[in-house]
Amino acid sequence: EIVLTQSPGTLSLSPGERATLSCRASQSVTSNYFAWYQQKPGQAPRLLIYGASSRATGIPDRFSASGSGTDFTLTISRLEPEDFAVYYCQQYGSSPQTFGQGTKVEIK
C-alpha cells in the first residue's frame, strides 16, 4: 500500500500567517487522485481538495494545493481562527486508499 508521510507534525502559527503543509507518498499517486481534509475536534473530516489541486464546493480560496507524483502541498494563504485544526492528506487512486498521519495547525 502507499504510505503517506505528512510534515510537519505540528505547525504553530498566528492568525493571518501563511501555512504550508506537506505530504510525501512512498510511490507515485495514480492520476493525481489525491485529497486533503480538515478535521476539528469532535467532527467528521471535511473534504477540502481533490484531484491534487481542485477545491471542493464551498471551500474558501485561501486554501490551495499543488503537487504530483509523490510530493503534495496544501497552502492556507492567511489563517483564519476557524482554520486551526488537523489536516490529513489521502490518496484514493490505489487500493487500499490511505491517509497521512495528520498535521495539527495550532495557534501560536
Partner 1 sequence: EVQLVQSGAEVKKPGESLKISCKGSGYSFINYWIGWVRQMPGKGLEWMGIIYPADSDTRYNPSFQGQVTISADKSISTAYLQWSALRASDTAIYYCARQTTVETPPKYWGQGTLVTVSS
| Contact between 22 and partner 1 per CB under 8 A | no
**Which among 16-24, 33-41, 60-68, 71-79 is the span making contact with partner 1, rule CB under 8 A?**
33-41
| Contact between 59 and partner 1 per CB under 8 A | no
| Contact between 93 and partner 1 per CB under 8 A | yes
| Contact between 63 and partner 1 per CB under 8 A | no
Measured CA to CA in angstroms, residue 35 lies from 12, 16, 66, 107 at distances of 23, 24, 10, 24
| Contact between 92 and partner 1 per CB under 8 A | yes
Determine which residue in the list 19, 21, 23, 50 makes contact with partner 1, applying CB under 8 A.
Answer: 50
Q: By three-state DSSP, how is residue 81 classified?
A: helix
**E strands along 8-92, which residues?**
10-13, 19-25, 34-39, 46-50, 54-55, 63-68, 71-76, 86-91
